[in-house]
Amino acid sequence: MSENGVLRSIPREMLLIIFAAFAATAVMGYLDAFDRLYQFSRAYEMIHFDEISLFLPSFLAMGFVIYSYRKIQDLEVEIRKRKEIERKLVESEKKYRELSITDDLTKLYNTRHFSSRLRRELDRVSRYGHDLSLLLLDVDDFKKYNDAYGHFEGDAVLSKLGEVIRGELRRTDSAYRYGGEEFTIILTETGEESAIKVADRMREEFESIMTASGQKDMAGRTISVGVTQYVPEENVQSLLMRADKAMYEAKNGGKNQICLLSG
């Protein structure tokens, strides 16, 4: 191993201790301390003290260095343990926060998180003048499906729709289980035309998956989607009401379709 490699393998604290020992030795040499220690040890010898007294200061210094090094090692171990505990605590808190705002069935965010997130997004787009679109989805005739096949199968439908929605989201988008079989999606930096394309991909993919699974009834096999774009300076309630109205118009128009309402 090279000299530089050897130095890198020595802990920084040990290097400091060695440097301090050399510095102390140099100072003692400059002050003739070694001669005085020798004279001191000879004085002890004169009173029948053993020759080992000559080396006593060195033994004490070495003991101090070893003791200090061990204490530093113990301190490093304790610091590493505390950092690991803090890391696990932060991860646990993050996981708990995520679980508190996530719907267990669909793995989308829940309604509680939706309201606060939408307000933040509206504040942001109002400040910077960007586009934002909102989708409101509803599973067609979901109650009939539940009545016919049971809640377990109904939950499977909602879970599958959650997968479809997550697959279409970008990193900046967010989706929520709004309640029952209704879902909302916030599409940032997205105008009406792009929002309609996203909604149509979700509609087609969901119907395709449900048809392939053997579902023959129309109930629970399709979705209706309301699409609207944020109008500058409007409030959350106004945007939501327009998206809700668009979704119900899609249902009243025959279901399994998309309806756009502009502000």
Point out the residues that are catalytic: 181
Helix, strand, coil content of the chain in percent (nearest 5): 65, 15, 20
What's CA 248's distance to the chain center, in Å? 36
CA-CA distance, 260 to 220, in Å (whole number)?
22
CA 120 to chain centre: 19
Q: 163-196 in b/e burial notation, b at 16+ Cβ within 10 A?
A: ebbeebbeeebbbbbbeebbbbbbbbebebeebb
Pairwise CA distance, residues 90 & 103, whole Å: 22
Task: Give burial (CB, 10 Å; 0-12/13-18/19+) of 53.
Answer: middle
